[in-house]
Amino acid sequence: MDSRKSIEESREDFPSLKRQRKGKPPIYLDNACTTLVPRQVFESIQEYYTEYPSCSGTRSRHWFAQEVSDHIEGNPGKGIKGSRQIIAEFINAGSKKEIIFTLNTTHALNMVALGFPFQPGDVVLLTDTEHNSNLLPWLKLQKAGRIKVDFTVTNDRFDLDAFEWKLKTGRVRLVSMAYTSNVTGYTIPAREITKIAHQYGALVLLDGAQAVPHQTIDVQNLDADFLAFSLHKMCGPRGVGVLYGKKELLGQMPHEEGEAEHVIVPVIQGGGTVADSTYYSYTLMLPPDRFEAGIQNYPAQIASGAAVQYIQQIGMDRIRDHEASLNHFLSEELMNRYGDTGWFSIVGPQDAAQRGGILTFEVKRPNAMGIAADLSEKNNVMIRDGVFCVHAYFNEKFGPEWTRPISHSEHRMVYRVSSYFYNTMEECRVFLEALDEIFKERGYI
Ligand SMILES: Cc1ncc(COP(=O)(O)O)c(C=O)c1O
Protein backbone atom coordinates (compact mmCIF):
# COMPACT_ATOMS: atom_id res chain seq x y z
CA MET A 1 0.00 0.00 0.00
CA ASP A 2 1.17 3.51 -0.80
CA SER A 3 1.89 5.16 2.56
CA ARG A 4 2.47 8.56 0.99
CA LYS A 5 0.12 11.44 1.60
CA SER A 6 -2.60 11.78 -1.04
CA ILE A 7 -3.16 15.02 -2.90
CA GLU A 8 -6.52 15.48 -1.18
CA GLU A 9 -4.99 14.82 2.25
CA SER A 10 -2.20 17.29 1.52
CA ARG A 11 -4.72 20.07 0.82
CA GLU A 12 -5.79 19.82 4.47
CA ASP A 13 -2.33 21.03 5.47
CA PHE A 14 -2.71 24.38 3.69
CA PRO A 15 -4.83 26.81 5.73
CA SER A 16 -4.76 29.34 2.88
CA LEU A 17 -6.80 26.88 0.78
CA LYS A 18 -9.53 26.99 3.42
CA ARG A 19 -10.15 30.69 2.93
CA GLN A 20 -13.32 31.85 1.20
CA ARG A 21 -14.08 35.03 -0.62
CA LYS A 22 -17.51 35.75 -2.03
CA GLY A 23 -18.46 32.24 -0.95
CA LYS A 24 -15.78 30.60 -3.08
CA PRO A 25 -12.40 29.05 -2.24
CA PRO A 26 -9.12 30.33 -3.69
CA ILE A 27 -7.70 28.65 -6.78
CA TYR A 28 -3.98 29.25 -6.65
CA LEU A 29 -2.23 28.73 -9.99
CA ASP A 30 0.73 31.06 -9.49
CA ASN A 31 3.11 28.47 -8.09
CA ALA A 32 6.03 29.33 -10.37
CA CYS A 33 6.13 32.66 -8.53
CA THR A 34 5.90 31.23 -5.04
CA THR A 35 4.02 28.31 -3.53
CA LEU A 36 1.59 28.05 -0.64
CA VAL A 37 2.94 26.95 2.73
CA PRO A 38 1.76 23.90 4.72
CA ARG A 39 1.29 24.16 8.48
CA GLN A 40 4.25 21.81 9.11
CA VAL A 41 6.52 24.55 7.78
CA PHE A 42 5.18 27.43 9.80
CA GLU A 43 4.92 25.22 12.89
CA SER A 44 8.65 24.70 12.49
CA ILE A 45 9.15 28.48 12.28
CA GLN A 46 6.92 28.96 15.29
CA GLU A 47 8.88 26.34 17.24
CA TYR A 48 12.07 28.34 16.66
CA TYR A 49 10.52 31.59 17.92
CA THR A 50 8.79 29.88 20.83
CA GLU A 51 11.46 27.46 21.99
CA TYR A 52 14.98 28.56 21.01
CA PRO A 53 14.93 32.02 19.40
CA SER A 54 18.68 32.63 19.47
CA CYS A 55 21.76 32.55 17.26
CA SER A 56 23.39 29.23 16.49
CA GLY A 57 26.06 27.19 18.24
CA THR A 58 28.75 28.43 15.85
CA ARG A 59 28.62 31.68 17.85
CA SER A 60 27.26 31.02 21.32
CA ARG A 61 27.71 27.98 23.49
CA HIS A 62 24.45 28.09 25.39
CA TRP A 63 21.48 25.78 25.44
CA PHE A 64 19.27 27.68 22.96
CA ALA A 65 22.12 28.16 20.47
CA GLN A 66 22.86 24.45 20.66
CA GLU A 67 19.22 23.66 19.78
CA VAL A 68 19.38 26.00 16.79
CA SER A 69 22.47 24.17 15.57
CA ASP A 70 20.85 20.80 16.23
CA HIS A 71 18.05 21.71 13.82
CA ILE A 72 20.37 23.07 11.13
CA GLU A 73 23.53 20.99 11.43
CA GLY A 74 21.94 17.91 13.02
CA ASN A 75 22.44 16.03 16.25
CA PRO A 76 22.52 12.24 15.82
CA GLY A 77 22.47 11.76 19.61
CA LYS A 78 19.03 13.39 19.72
CA GLY A 79 17.90 11.78 16.47
CA ILE A 80 17.80 15.14 14.65
CA LYS A 81 19.05 15.11 11.07
CA GLY A 82 19.29 18.87 10.53
CA SER A 83 18.05 20.86 7.54
CA ARG A 84 21.44 21.07 5.80
CA GLN A 85 21.69 17.29 5.69
CA ILE A 86 18.03 16.93 4.66
CA ILE A 87 18.64 19.26 1.71
CA ALA A 88 21.93 17.55 0.82
CA GLU A 89 20.17 14.18 0.64
CA PHE A 90 17.25 15.69 -1.28
CA ILE A 91 19.50 16.70 -4.18
CA ASN A 92 21.97 13.85 -3.55
CA ALA A 93 24.91 16.11 -2.76
CA GLY A 94 28.07 14.28 -1.70
CA SER A 95 28.24 16.17 1.58
CA LYS A 96 26.17 18.64 3.57
CA LYS A 97 29.19 20.96 3.43
CA GLU A 98 28.28 21.53 -0.21
CA ILE A 99 25.00 23.18 0.84
CA ILE A 100 25.26 26.94 1.35
CA PHE A 101 22.23 28.79 2.67
CA THR A 102 21.48 31.97 0.74
CA LEU A 103 18.59 34.42 0.65
CA ASN A 104 17.13 32.96 -2.56
CA THR A 105 18.10 31.79 -6.06
CA THR A 106 19.02 35.32 -7.11
CA HIS A 107 21.48 35.61 -4.24
CA ALA A 108 22.97 32.19 -5.00
CA LEU A 109 23.49 33.04 -8.69
CA ASN A 110 25.11 36.36 -7.78
CA MET A 111 27.44 34.58 -5.36
CA VAL A 112 28.85 32.56 -8.24
CA ALA A 113 28.91 35.52 -10.64
CA LEU A 114 30.80 37.72 -8.20
CA GLY A 115 32.96 35.04 -6.60
CA PHE A 116 34.14 33.13 -9.67
CA PRO A 117 37.74 33.83 -10.75
CA PHE A 118 37.07 34.98 -14.30
CA GLN A 119 39.93 35.96 -16.59
CA PRO A 120 39.47 38.75 -19.12
CA GLY A 121 38.00 37.27 -22.31
CA ASP A 122 36.13 34.47 -20.54
CA VAL A 123 32.68 33.77 -21.93
CA VAL A 124 29.60 32.91 -19.89
CA LEU A 125 27.05 31.04 -21.95
CA LEU A 126 23.33 31.40 -21.20
CA THR A 127 20.11 30.35 -22.92
CA ASP A 128 17.84 32.93 -24.52
CA THR A 129 15.10 32.37 -21.92
CA GLU A 130 16.91 33.33 -18.74
CA HIS A 131 15.15 34.97 -15.82
CA ASN A 132 16.62 38.39 -15.00
CA SER A 133 18.27 36.75 -11.97
CA ASN A 134 20.44 34.69 -14.31
CA LEU A 135 20.99 37.47 -16.84
CA LEU A 136 21.65 40.71 -15.02
CA PRO A 137 24.58 39.46 -12.88
CA TRP A 138 26.34 38.45 -16.10
CA LEU A 139 25.46 41.63 -18.01
CA LYS A 140 26.87 43.59 -15.10
CA LEU A 141 30.14 41.66 -15.26
CA GLN A 142 30.24 42.15 -19.01
CA LYS A 143 29.74 45.88 -18.55
CA ALA A 144 32.67 45.89 -16.14
CA GLY A 145 34.81 44.20 -18.83
CA ARG A 146 35.27 41.02 -16.81
CA ILE A 147 33.47 38.56 -19.11
CA LYS A 148 31.61 38.27 -22.39
CA VAL A 149 28.03 37.01 -22.38
CA ASP A 150 26.80 34.71 -25.13
CA PHE A 151 23.51 32.94 -25.71
CA THR A 152 22.36 29.66 -27.10
CA VAL A 153 18.86 29.58 -28.54
CA THR A 154 16.50 27.05 -26.96
CA ASN A 155 13.27 27.71 -28.86
CA ASP A 156 11.28 24.59 -28.12
CA ARG A 157 14.25 22.25 -28.07
CA PHE A 158 17.78 22.59 -26.78
CA ASP A 159 20.15 22.24 -29.70
CA LEU A 160 23.09 20.27 -28.30
CA ASP A 161 25.05 20.58 -31.55
CA ALA A 162 24.74 24.38 -31.59
CA PHE A 163 25.68 24.37 -27.91
CA GLU A 164 28.77 22.26 -28.55
CA TRP A 165 29.72 24.57 -31.41
CA LYS A 166 29.74 27.52 -29.03
CA LEU A 167 32.05 25.63 -26.69
CA LYS A 168 34.31 24.54 -29.52
CA THR A 169 34.66 28.00 -30.99
CA GLY A 170 34.40 30.34 -27.99
CA ARG A 171 36.24 30.73 -24.72
CA VAL A 172 33.37 29.51 -22.60
CA ARG A 173 34.43 29.27 -18.98
CA LEU A 174 31.01 28.89 -17.41
CA VAL A 175 27.62 27.73 -18.67
CA SER A 176 24.81 29.21 -16.58
CA MET A 177 21.31 28.10 -17.50
CA ALA A 178 17.78 27.79 -16.19
CA TYR A 179 17.24 24.08 -15.71
CA THR A 180 13.52 24.65 -16.25
CA SER A 181 12.36 27.91 -17.82
CA ASN A 182 9.84 29.91 -15.83
CA VAL A 183 8.26 31.17 -19.05
CA THR A 184 8.16 28.18 -21.41
CA GLY A 185 8.36 25.43 -18.76
CA TYR A 186 10.98 23.70 -20.92
CA THR A 187 13.58 21.60 -19.09
CA ILE A 188 17.00 21.55 -20.70
CA PRO A 189 18.93 18.26 -21.05
CA ALA A 190 21.19 19.12 -18.13
CA ARG A 191 23.10 15.82 -18.00
CA GLU A 192 24.15 16.09 -21.65
CA ILE A 193 24.95 19.77 -21.18
CA THR A 194 27.33 19.16 -18.26
CA LYS A 195 28.98 16.31 -20.17
CA ILE A 196 29.69 18.45 -23.21
CA ALA A 197 30.68 21.52 -21.16
CA HIS A 198 33.17 19.50 -19.13
CA GLN A 199 34.73 18.08 -22.30
CA TYR A 200 35.62 21.66 -23.22
CA GLY A 201 36.76 22.64 -19.73
CA ALA A 202 33.73 24.77 -18.88
CA LEU A 203 31.81 24.53 -15.60
CA VAL A 204 28.03 24.43 -15.30
CA LEU A 205 25.80 26.45 -13.00
CA LEU A 206 22.16 25.39 -13.08
CA ASP A 207 19.43 27.81 -12.08
CA GLY A 208 17.16 25.25 -10.50
CA ALA A 209 14.47 27.66 -9.26
CA GLN A 210 11.77 25.99 -11.39
CA ALA A 211 13.27 22.50 -11.49
CA VAL A 212 14.20 21.50 -7.94
CA PRO A 213 10.60 21.88 -6.59
CA HIS A 214 9.12 19.70 -9.32
CA GLN A 215 11.30 16.69 -10.05
CA THR A 216 13.90 14.39 -8.52
CA ILE A 217 17.30 16.06 -8.63
CA ASP A 218 20.57 14.18 -8.35
CA VAL A 219 23.47 16.61 -8.58
CA GLN A 220 26.03 13.82 -8.67
CA ASN A 221 24.34 12.13 -11.57
CA LEU A 222 23.89 15.47 -13.35
CA ASP A 223 27.52 16.27 -12.57
CA ALA A 224 26.41 19.89 -12.06
CA ASP A 225 29.11 22.12 -10.64
CA PHE A 226 26.71 24.57 -9.01
CA LEU A 227 22.95 24.55 -8.49
CA ALA A 228 20.84 27.43 -7.18
CA PHE A 229 17.27 27.23 -5.87
CA SER A 230 14.75 28.88 -3.55
CA LEU A 231 12.76 27.24 -0.78
CA HIS A 232 9.78 29.56 -1.25
CA LYS A 233 9.01 27.82 -4.55
CA MET A 234 8.75 24.44 -2.81
CA CYS A 235 6.41 25.02 0.14
CA GLY A 236 9.19 26.53 2.20
CA PRO A 237 9.72 29.79 4.01
CA ARG A 238 10.43 33.03 2.19
CA GLY A 239 13.92 34.51 2.37
CA VAL A 240 15.99 31.35 2.13
CA GLY A 241 17.62 29.61 -0.81
CA VAL A 242 20.50 27.28 -1.50
CA LEU A 243 23.69 27.33 -3.47
CA TYR A 244 25.01 23.83 -3.99
CA GLY A 245 28.64 23.70 -5.13
CA LYS A 246 30.98 20.76 -5.62
CA LYS A 247 33.31 20.57 -2.65
CA GLU A 248 36.42 21.22 -4.74
CA LEU A 249 34.89 24.43 -6.10
CA LEU A 250 34.06 26.00 -2.74
CA GLY A 251 37.62 26.44 -1.52
CA GLN A 252 39.85 25.01 1.19
CA MET A 253 42.52 27.68 1.65
CA PRO A 254 42.57 30.21 4.49
CA HIS A 255 42.99 33.11 2.05
CA GLU A 256 41.18 33.84 -1.24
CA GLU A 257 44.47 34.39 -3.08
CA GLY A 258 45.64 30.83 -2.45
CA GLU A 259 42.66 29.11 -4.02
CA ALA A 260 42.90 26.90 -7.09
CA GLU A 261 41.48 27.79 -10.48
CA HIS A 262 37.64 27.59 -10.64
CA VAL A 263 37.14 28.00 -6.89
CA ILE A 264 34.57 30.64 -5.90
CA VAL A 265 35.52 33.03 -3.14
CA PRO A 266 33.07 34.61 -0.72
CA VAL A 267 32.00 38.09 -1.79
CA ILE A 268 30.29 39.10 1.43
CA GLN A 269 32.48 38.87 4.46
CA GLY A 270 31.87 39.43 8.13
CA GLY A 271 30.76 37.66 11.27
CA GLY A 272 30.75 33.88 11.03
CA THR A 273 32.92 33.66 7.92
CA VAL A 274 36.40 33.88 9.45
CA ALA A 275 38.39 31.75 11.84
CA ASP A 276 40.60 34.69 12.85
CA SER A 277 41.32 38.31 12.01
CA THR A 278 43.91 40.94 12.89
CA TYR A 279 44.00 44.64 12.00
CA TYR A 280 45.70 43.59 8.76
CA SER A 281 44.33 40.23 7.63
CA TYR A 282 41.92 37.38 8.24
CA THR A 283 41.71 33.63 7.77
CA LEU A 284 38.57 32.12 6.31
CA MET A 285 36.41 29.40 7.81
CA LEU A 286 35.92 26.32 5.66
CA PRO A 287 32.79 26.10 3.47
CA PRO A 288 29.92 26.46 3.95
CA ASP A 289 30.53 28.90 6.85
CA ARG A 290 32.75 31.23 4.82
CA PHE A 291 29.76 31.94 2.55
CA GLU A 292 27.15 32.53 5.27
CA ALA A 293 28.00 35.97 6.59
CA GLY A 294 26.27 37.56 9.54
CA ILE A 295 23.43 36.33 11.69
CA GLN A 296 21.37 34.00 9.54
CA ASN A 297 17.66 33.53 8.96
CA TYR A 298 17.70 30.56 11.36
CA PRO A 299 13.94 29.92 11.49
CA ALA A 300 13.78 29.83 7.70
CA GLN A 301 16.84 27.61 7.44
CA ILE A 302 15.34 25.21 9.97
CA ALA A 303 11.93 25.26 8.27
CA SER A 304 13.61 24.46 4.93
CA GLY A 305 14.15 20.97 6.28
CA ALA A 306 10.45 20.72 7.14
CA ALA A 307 9.51 21.90 3.63
CA VAL A 308 11.78 19.37 1.92
CA GLN A 309 10.50 16.55 4.12
CA TYR A 310 6.97 17.64 3.35
CA ILE A 311 7.33 17.45 -0.43
CA GLN A 312 9.30 14.21 -0.11
CA GLN A 313 6.29 12.80 1.67
CA ILE A 314 4.20 13.64 -1.37
CA GLY A 315 6.87 12.15 -3.64
CA MET A 316 8.82 13.99 -6.33
CA ASP A 317 7.80 11.58 -9.10
CA ARG A 318 4.17 11.97 -8.11
CA ILE A 319 4.51 15.77 -8.09
CA ARG A 320 5.95 15.70 -11.61
CA ASP A 321 3.26 13.31 -12.89
CA HIS A 322 0.41 15.20 -11.27
CA GLU A 323 1.51 18.54 -12.75
CA ALA A 324 1.97 16.90 -16.13
CA SER A 325 -1.58 15.52 -16.13
CA LEU A 326 -3.06 18.91 -15.16
CA ASN A 327 -1.00 20.67 -17.80
CA HIS A 328 -1.98 18.13 -20.43
CA PHE A 329 -5.67 18.65 -19.64
CA LEU A 330 -5.39 22.45 -19.58
CA SER A 331 -3.32 22.68 -22.75
CA GLU A 332 -5.61 20.37 -24.69
CA GLU A 333 -8.76 22.19 -23.55
CA LEU A 334 -7.36 25.62 -24.33
CA MET A 335 -6.09 24.60 -27.76
CA ASN A 336 -9.37 22.84 -28.60
CA ARG A 337 -11.31 25.92 -27.62
CA TYR A 338 -9.14 28.71 -28.99
CA GLY A 339 -6.29 27.12 -30.97
CA ASP A 340 -7.83 28.04 -34.33
CA THR A 341 -8.75 31.61 -33.50
CA GLY A 342 -5.46 33.12 -34.59
CA TRP A 343 -5.26 35.26 -31.43
CA PHE A 344 -4.51 32.54 -28.88
CA SER A 345 -1.25 30.62 -28.64
CA ILE A 346 0.83 28.70 -26.13
CA VAL A 347 4.36 30.01 -25.54
CA GLY A 348 7.09 27.35 -25.64
CA PRO A 349 6.80 23.72 -26.68
CA GLN A 350 3.32 22.83 -27.88
CA ASP A 351 3.59 19.38 -26.28
CA ALA A 352 2.43 19.82 -22.68
CA ALA A 353 4.69 16.94 -21.60
CA GLN A 354 7.65 19.25 -22.19
CA ARG A 355 6.36 22.07 -20.05
CA GLY A 356 6.16 20.53 -16.55
CA GLY A 357 3.54 22.45 -14.57
CA ILE A 358 3.88 25.65 -16.61
CA LEU A 359 1.41 26.88 -19.20
CA THR A 360 2.08 30.32 -20.63
CA PHE A 361 -0.30 31.65 -23.25
CA GLU A 362 -0.54 34.73 -25.37
CA VAL A 363 -3.72 36.65 -26.10
CA LYS A 364 -3.56 39.07 -29.02
CA ARG A 365 -6.85 40.93 -28.90
CA PRO A 366 -8.29 44.33 -28.12
CA ASN A 367 -8.35 44.98 -24.41
CA ALA A 368 -6.27 41.85 -23.69
CA MET A 369 -4.94 43.36 -20.48
CA GLY A 370 -6.43 42.73 -17.07
CA ILE A 371 -7.54 39.14 -17.58
CA ALA A 372 -5.56 37.93 -14.56
CA ALA A 373 -7.10 40.64 -12.38
CA ASP A 374 -10.59 39.71 -13.65
CA LEU A 375 -10.02 36.01 -12.93
CA SER A 376 -9.02 36.87 -9.39
CA GLU A 377 -11.77 39.39 -8.81
CA LYS A 378 -14.61 37.31 -10.18
CA ASN A 379 -13.57 33.74 -9.48
CA ASN A 380 -10.71 33.79 -6.94
CA VAL A 381 -8.51 32.24 -9.64
CA MET A 382 -4.91 33.40 -9.30
CA ILE A 383 -2.61 33.30 -12.32
CA ARG A 384 0.21 35.61 -13.41
CA ASP A 385 0.39 38.15 -16.21
CA GLY A 386 3.25 40.30 -17.46
CA VAL A 387 6.77 39.40 -18.43
CA PHE A 388 7.72 37.05 -15.58
CA CYS A 389 11.15 38.74 -15.24
CA VAL A 390 12.11 37.45 -18.69
CA HIS A 391 12.01 40.82 -20.48
CA ALA A 392 14.93 40.03 -22.78
CA TYR A 393 13.23 36.96 -24.25
CA PHE A 394 9.97 38.78 -24.95
CA ASN A 395 11.75 41.82 -26.34
CA GLU A 396 13.59 39.55 -28.76
CA LYS A 397 10.54 37.47 -29.62
CA PHE A 398 7.99 40.23 -30.02
CA GLY A 399 10.12 43.33 -30.58
CA PRO A 400 10.91 46.05 -28.04
CA GLU A 401 7.54 47.72 -28.51
CA TRP A 402 5.60 44.62 -27.58
CA THR A 403 4.21 45.84 -24.29
CA ARG A 404 2.50 48.71 -26.11
CA PRO A 405 -0.68 48.11 -28.16
CA ILE A 406 0.32 46.52 -31.48
CA SER A 407 -2.34 48.59 -33.24
CA HIS A 408 -4.87 51.03 -31.91
CA SER A 409 -7.27 48.14 -31.39
CA GLU A 410 -5.03 45.20 -30.54
CA HIS A 411 -2.92 44.34 -27.55
CA ARG A 412 -0.59 41.48 -26.86
CA MET A 413 -0.65 40.02 -23.36
CA VAL A 414 0.98 36.96 -21.89
CA TYR A 415 -0.45 34.93 -19.01
CA ARG A 416 1.04 32.09 -17.02
CA VAL A 417 -0.77 29.27 -15.22
CA SER A 418 1.53 27.25 -13.00
CA SER A 419 0.41 24.31 -10.91
CA TYR A 420 1.74 22.34 -7.97
CA PHE A 421 0.76 19.06 -6.36
CA TYR A 422 -2.15 20.52 -4.38
CA ASN A 423 -3.98 21.76 -7.47
CA THR A 424 -6.87 19.67 -8.71
CA MET A 425 -8.59 18.90 -12.00
CA GLU A 426 -11.68 20.61 -10.62
CA GLU A 427 -9.69 23.81 -10.09
CA CYS A 428 -8.49 23.60 -13.68
CA ARG A 429 -12.10 23.29 -14.85
CA VAL A 430 -13.12 26.36 -12.85
CA PHE A 431 -10.23 28.30 -14.39
CA LEU A 432 -11.21 27.22 -17.91
CA GLU A 433 -14.85 28.21 -17.46
CA ALA A 434 -13.92 31.53 -15.85
CA LEU A 435 -11.54 32.32 -18.72
CA ASP A 436 -14.19 31.41 -21.25
CA GLU A 437 -16.63 33.76 -19.57
CA ILE A 438 -14.10 36.59 -19.67
CA PHE A 439 -13.37 35.96 -23.35
CA LYS A 440 -17.13 36.11 -24.02
CA GLU A 441 -17.56 39.31 -22.03
CA ARG A 442 -14.77 40.88 -24.03
CA GLY A 443 -16.35 39.80 -27.28
CA TYR A 444 -13.48 37.53 -28.35
CA ILE A 445 -15.72 34.52 -28.87
C1 LIG B 1 14.02 30.47 -13.46
C2 LIG B 1 14.10 31.39 -12.29
N3 LIG B 1 15.30 31.80 -11.87
C4 LIG B 1 15.44 32.62 -10.83
C5 LIG B 1 14.34 33.08 -10.14
C6 LIG B 1 14.54 33.99 -8.99
O7 LIG B 1 14.12 33.36 -7.82
P8 LIG B 1 14.16 34.17 -6.44
O9 LIG B 1 13.24 35.33 -6.63
O10 LIG B 1 13.64 33.19 -5.45
O11 LIG B 1 15.54 34.58 -6.21
C12 LIG B 1 13.07 32.70 -10.56
C13 LIG B 1 11.87 33.23 -9.88
O14 LIG B 1 10.78 33.22 -10.39
C15 LIG B 1 12.95 31.84 -11.66
O16 LIG B 1 11.75 31.44 -12.08
pLDDT tens for the chain, 445 residues long, are 567 888 889 999 999 999 999 999 999 999 999 999 999 999 999 999 999 999 999 899 999 999 999 999 999 999 999 999 999 999 999 999 999 999 999 999 999 999 999 999 999 999 999 999 999 999 999 999 999 999 998 877 899 999 999 999 999 999 999 999 999 999 999 999 999 999 999 999 999 999 999 999 999 999 999 999 999 999 999 999 999 999 999 999 999 888 888 999 999 999 999 999 999 999 999 999 999 999 999 999 999 999 999 999 999 999 999 999 999 999 999 999 999 999 999 999 999 999 999 999 999 998 888 999 999 999 999 999 988 999 999 888 887 666 655 555 567 899 999 999 999 999 999 999 999 999 999 999 9
Q: Is the peptide bond before 120 cis (omega within 30 degrees of 0)?
A: no
R_g over Cα of the chain: 23
What is the pTM (predicted TM-score) of this model? 0.97
Nearest CA to ligand 1 atom 15: 209
311 CA → ligand 1 middle, Å: 19
CA pair distance 16, 36, nearest whole angstrom: 7
Nearest CA to ligand 1 atom 8: 105
Q: Could you tell me if the CB of 105 is within 6 A of ligand 1? A: yes
| Residue type (1 letter), 294 | G
**Residues recognised as catalytic:** 389
Asked if 239 and 104 count as a contact pair (C-beta separation under 8 A), the reply is yes
Nearest to 186 by CA among 163, 139, 153, 228: 153
Q: What is the dihedral of CA 27, 31, 34, 37, to 10 degrees?
A: 60
Nearest to 434 by CA among 410, 409, 413, 417: 417
Residue ranges and CATH numbers for the domains of the chain are: 7-30+315-441 (3.90.1150.10), 44-312 (3.40.640.10)
250 CA → ligand 1 middle, Å: 23
At 187 the three-state DSSP class reads strand
Nearest to 370 by CA among 320, 269, 294, 438: 438
151 CA → ligand 1 middle, Å: 19
Contacts of 393 (CB under 8 A, 6+ apart): 128, 129, 130, 183
* Residue to mutate (ligand 1; options 34, 179, 230, 234; most atoms within 8 A of CB): 230
Nearest to 154 by CA among 191, 200, 203, 188: 188
Q: Could you tell me if the CB of 178 is within 6 A of ligand 1? A: yes
* Residue to mutate (ligand 1; options 103, 133, 297; most atoms within 8 A of CB): 133
The CA-to-CA distance between both ends of the chain, in Å, stands at: 48
Asked if 251 and 284 count as a contact pair (C-beta separation under 8 A), the reply is yes
